[in-house]
Structure 1
Amino acid sequence: MGFASSLGNDISPQARYASSVSEPTADVVVIGAGIVGASCAYRLAERGLSVRILEAAPIPAGGSTGRSAAGVRVQFSQATNILLSWKSIQAYREMPEAAYTQLGYLLLVPVAEWPAHRKSVALQRDLGVPVEVLPLEAAQRVVEFVPDGLAGATYGPADGVVDPHGITLGYLRRARELGAHLHLETELLQARALSGGWRLETSRGGFSAGCVLNAAGAWAGEVGRRAGLEIPVQPARRMVYATGPLPWPHRYPLTIDLDSGFWFRSEGARLIFGRSNPADEGFVEGMDWDWLEPTLEVGLARFPWLEQAALDRKASWWGYYEVTPDHNPILGWMPGVEGWANACGFSGHGVQQAAMVGVLMAEEIADGRARSLEIGPLRYERFLQRQAVLERNIV
């Protein structure tokens, strides 16, 4: 029996507890007003639950969501990730605020990774996802590159870019139209489980709820600690460098050299590009200009024509990934903890999967179990049972 089913025609235990205190109450409190939290809040409100969204920042989508490179792709190595992204892309196609643009993703694959990559492509195709295998000569007609060390390329024609900020605001607007409340500049300080619900202390006073959904992005681990829970999500800083306008017309797909991790794509008349620094962990703020040289070193080796582009420092930005040990999100109920659920740890692909995650988390909380997609491989229990499987296609 799910949380919503327990409401019935009588007052639920959660509602009985909530009505006994003079403070804001809700069936579900969502922590975080980024794209994942907004999607979940909308779908929960759609199911008839009372929802409050707590956001520590003064604006929604001010963290990882607003600083994303905005790409959406289906080229993952695990079925759950493939389907989460594919179903989300289909939702974004129908959402005006998403501004979905079918730019495509081009992955350049080194020889050593080619057999495993081909297996991933076979899985993607088995799941009904459009992915093309390209010989290097064909890929070079899309983007010029030095082919040394590469075996082939794959291209996702339905992959592309979206407007994460627009999506977040769209979901929040829909949620509020259904009665949800958004509380900005409301930082969670402590959460305590009580009989039939949760008591939350925040920078704006107390809240009570039957259920808490942790969608706090890079801060999800800290949110868990403030509730006495260990949630393995760590922040990792990532750079997005921008060029000035290029002197030629272009519409480059989001192109990733899997050998080095260097990526770029067209952004209007300019390019944006980057490369993850595995040593850049924790809540470190600001641009890392020292990382620009090692990023460009591998980028120019593969794409020598980039030398013609000028860097625009003012247009560059940084943001956080929310990283888990296996680079997969944590979805679903927290084992052994009544009324606490997680939707966090997306390791760089939260924007890509947020639409479907909202549907699944609404099912998880309202019905007791997500049913539209099997999320077993993404549940917290995988860490307890040592069953975590690394997602290979993370950049």
Structure 2
Amino acid sequence: MEHSYDALIIGAGIVGAAVAYRLAERGLRVAVLEADSVPAAQATAKSAAGVRVQFSEAVNVRLSWASIQEYRTFEEVFGVSSGYRPIGYLFLVPEGAEAAYERALATQKRLGVPVERLAPGEAKKLADFDPDGVAFATWGPADGVIDPHLVAHAYLKAARGRGAELFTETPLLRAGRRGRAWRVETPAGSFTAPVVVNAAGAWAGEVARRAGFELPVEPVRRMVFMTGPMPEARGLPLTVDVATGFYLRGEGERVLFGRSNPEEPPGFREGMDWGWLEPTLEAGLARFPWLERAGLDQRASWWGYYAVTPDHNPILGWMPGVEGWVNAAGFSGHGVQQAAAVGRALAEEVVDGRAHSIEIDPLRYERFERGKIVQEKNIV
């Protein structure tokens, strides 16, 4: 069978779902092709669910703040809550890194987002930590968490309500440009459309290769650990020890924590890396000694993939030299917090020819060709 549409979305995670909804809202006939048996089961479901405005680059601040605004009022539009909880993000800035974080703070304040500079003593009122070596903290009271799985499904339901179609167990096997349209071959038949949006997450690089070109997006495995019940979890904001990259937050009566392994090789490696637990805890205990009382809940811990680019920032917009191909990939762990705004911006890109609600030029593929990668400092 051959199916014809105005746009094909590859991937039904939170980003693909948001783009699908906004394109359908603009009147396009949209199909979402998902390789898995259910939507939003990979990085979206396995995310640590954080949303924050505390970035150093203006484009990331704008995308994240616009997304938080949408998640705040989500129920008014979609009939279900996004699960948004402003538990806050607290960055513990080490001595020696003050200048970079002062500049980031100035950028955030210039853009009008809620963020504060706190002395270590003030920050300790929000989260108990050893202040040794901490110069100051930055606090985002509107930062927090959402339910990304619920949000993705709400976008998909709304998209389908506007005529979009979802095809699961439908991986892209091959794709090629035929005249004015792309032809995408799948086990469920072929799909044609003038526009393809690559929102395949960790698989975005492979999807591009199957379409005949290279996109610098690689999968990198990440671990999220969970403690058993402990009193310190109550009201604990997402707190990042910038010196080590260790982070934690409260999740009900438990503490969720993790730290990216800089030595983790790219690739589709599966399963928990329990060997990374000891280095993670070593970094965490130095800053949060009370974690010594925590018991680990192995069954509640999990792993998932980041879709990583060379500069750990997404690739958005039209692919140069590849007609009708739009990138929405490589978020490097920031997809949940930017999905809502990216959905709007990329719908503008497709329908109007160029995103205009938010200037996405710094995140276009061309930055790699020009040697102007995004120098984002607030990477966790």
Q: TM-score by structure 2 length?
A: 0.97
SS at match of 1:166: helix
Indicate whether 1:263 and 2:247 are aligned. yes
Candidates 179, 194, 200, aligned match of 2:178 = 194
Contact 2:233–2:249 under 8 Å retained in 1: no
Q: CA deviation at 1:249?
A: 6.3
Mapped partners of 1:323, 1:248: distance in 2: 33
Deviates more, 1:175-184 or 1:248-257: 248-257
Mapped partners of 1:291, 1:302: distance in 2: 18
- Which residue number corresponds to residue 300 of structure 1? 285
- The residue correspondences of 1:219-298 to structure 2 (distance < 5 A) are 219-247=203-231, 250-280=234-264, 281-298=266-283
What's the CA shift string for 1:87-109, capped at 9, x where partnerless? 00000001133110010000001
- Which residue number corresponds to residue 147 of structure 2? 163
- Which residue number corresponds to residue 369 of structure 2? 384
- The residue correspondences of 1:177-188 to structure 2 (distance < 5 A) are 177-188=161-172
Q: TM-score by structure 1 length?
A: 0.94
Question: Structure 1 stretches (4+) deviating beyond 2 angstroms?
Answer: none
Contact 2:233–2:251 under 8 Å retained in 1: no
- Which residue number corresponds to residue 147 of structure 1? 131
- The residue correspondences of 1:44-123 to structure 2 (distance < 5 A) are 44-96=23-75, 97-123=81-107
Mapped partners of 2:275, 2:136: distance in 1: 32
- Which residue number corresponds to residue 199 of structure 2? 215
Indicate whether 1:134 and 2:113 are aligned. no
- The residue correspondences of 1:15-26 to structure 2 (distance < 5 A) are 23-26=2-5
> Structure 1: which 5+ residue stretches go unaligned?
1-21
What's the RMSD between the two structures over aligned residues?
0.9
SS at match of 1:306: helix
Mapped partners of 2:55, 2:233: distance in 1: 30
SS at match of 1:256: strand
SS at match of 1:387: coil
Mapped partners of 2:201, 2:88: distance in 1: 26
Indicate whether 1:322 and 2:307 are aligned. yes
- Which residue number corresponds to residue 78 of structure 2? none
Indicate whether 1:338 and 2:323 are aligned. yes
Mapped partners of 2:251, 2:233: distance in 1: 12
- Which residue number corresponds to residue 375 of structure 1? 360
Q: CA deviation at 1:279?
A: 1.8
Mapped partners of 2:231, 2:333: distance in 1: 31
What's the CA shift string for 1:72-128, capped at 9, x where partnerless? 000001000000000000000011331100100000011111111011001000000
Candidates 12, 16, 19, aligned match of 1:33 = 12
SS at match of 1:252: coil
Deviates more, 1:282-291 or 1:385-394: 385-394
SS at match of 1:188: coil
SS at match of 1:328: coil
Contact 1:327–1:390 under 8 Å retained in 2: no
SS at match of 2:19: helix
SS at match of 1:372: coil
SS at match of 2:96: helix
SS at match of 1:175: helix
SS at match of 1:192: strand
Mapped partners of 2:21, 2:86: distance in 1: 25
- Which residue number corresponds to residue 332 of structure 2? 347
Tell me the matched-pair count. Answer: 374
Mapped partners of 2:153, 2:267: distance in 1: 28
Mapped partners of 2:16, 2:202: distance in 1: 12
What's the CA shift string for 1:132-168, capped at 9, x where partnerless? 1000011111111111221110100000000000100
Q: Could you say if the C-alpha distance between residues 248 and 335 of structure 1 is closer, same or farther in structure 2, counting changes exceeding 3 Å?
A: closer
Mapped partners of 2:290, 2:327: distance in 1: 44
Candidates 313, 323, 343, aligned match of 1:358 = 343
Mapped partners of 1:327, 1:315: distance in 2: 27
Q: CA deviation at 1:203?
A: 2.0
Mapped partners of 2:67, 2:253: distance in 1: 27
Contact 1:213–1:343 under 8 Å retained in 2: yes
> In percent, how many aligned pairs have the same letter?
61
Q: CA deviation at 1:191?
A: 0.3
Contact 2:233–2:250 under 8 Å retained in 1: no
Q: CA deviation at 1:248?
A: 5.5
- The amino acid of 2:175's aligned partner reads A
Larger Rg: 1
